């Protein structure tokens, strides 16, 4: 397979709000519809993402949810089906019920419990930028080592995302060889 679903962090991908879908790229993409709580509601594929979202069959359902964003991952068109199936099986979004049922039949059902703890990390973007500027490698090399795009690295430095998932932060720390001191202690 061309991609390991465990390495994909949809919250760290480029995204637009559902209402700004006309700004989506016209390239082949896997996309994630994510609600305001960061829950992936739907995973899909499109040869032209903007065209796909002009009249999406899940658009009405998603528009009734609060603050839905569409995150996307550009991929080769030949890999769309394979990657979409792997990501649906991995994330099991509620609005992909037909495809999720196939996944459920392959393995015994197990309810997962999720615990989300968010902490404020003032200035984390500036700290990441400071550490990056002292590293001899290019942004492209650092981003690649952290399994993200250069554009996403810059968005993190500018603190444009509402949330920086802990696995993404830890990967950045590992790549830069820095501990930014973010803990989840009570």
Q: Are 69 and 21 in contact (CB under 8 A)?
A: no
Distance CA 54, CA 74 (A): 18
Q: Are 91 and 103 in contact (CB under 8 A)?
A: no
Mean pLDDT, to the nearest integer, of 87-111?
Answer: 67
What is the reported pTM?
0.52
Instruction: With a cut of 60, say whether residue 98 has pLDDT above it.
Output: no
- In angstroms, the Cα distances linking 88 to 32, 39, 130, 143 are 10, 13, 37, 25
Distance CA 50, CA 68 (A): 16
Mean pLDDT, to the nearest integer, of 140-145?
Answer: 92
Per cent of the chain over pLDDT 90 is 46
For the stretch 103-135, pLDDT in tens is 444 545 566 676 677 888 889 999 999 999 999
pLDDT for the residue numbered 2: 65
Write down all domains in the chain, each with its CATH number in brackets: 5-106 (3.40.1440.10), 124-176 (1.10.260)
Q: What's phi and psi for 185, nearest 5 deg?
A: -70, 145
Instruction: With a cut of 50, say whether residue 102 has pLDDT above it.
Output: no
């Amino acid at each position: 397979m061309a991609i390991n679903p465990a390495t994909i962090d949809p919250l760290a991908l480029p995204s637009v709000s559902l209402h700004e879908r006309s700004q989506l790229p016209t390239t082949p993409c896997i996309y994630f519809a994510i609600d305001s709580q960061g829950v992936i509601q739907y995973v899909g594929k499109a040869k032209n993402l903007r065209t796909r979202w002009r009249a999406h069959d899940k658009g009405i359902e998603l528009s009734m949810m609060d603050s839905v964003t569409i995150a996307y991952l550009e991929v080769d068109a030949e890999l769309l089906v394979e990657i979409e199936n792997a990501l649906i099986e991995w994330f099991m979004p509620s609005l992909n019920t037909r495809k999720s049922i196939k996944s459920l039949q392959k393995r015994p059902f197990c309810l997962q419990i999720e615990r989300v703890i968010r902490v404020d990390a003032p200035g984390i973007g500036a700290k990441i930028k400071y550490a990056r500027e002292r590293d001899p490698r290019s942004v492209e090399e650092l981003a690649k080592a952290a399994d993200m795009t250069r554009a996403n690295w810059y968005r993190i430095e500018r603190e444009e995302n509402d949330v920086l998932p802990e696995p993404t932060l830890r990967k950045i720390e590992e790549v830069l060889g820095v501990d930014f001191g973010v803990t989840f202690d009570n």
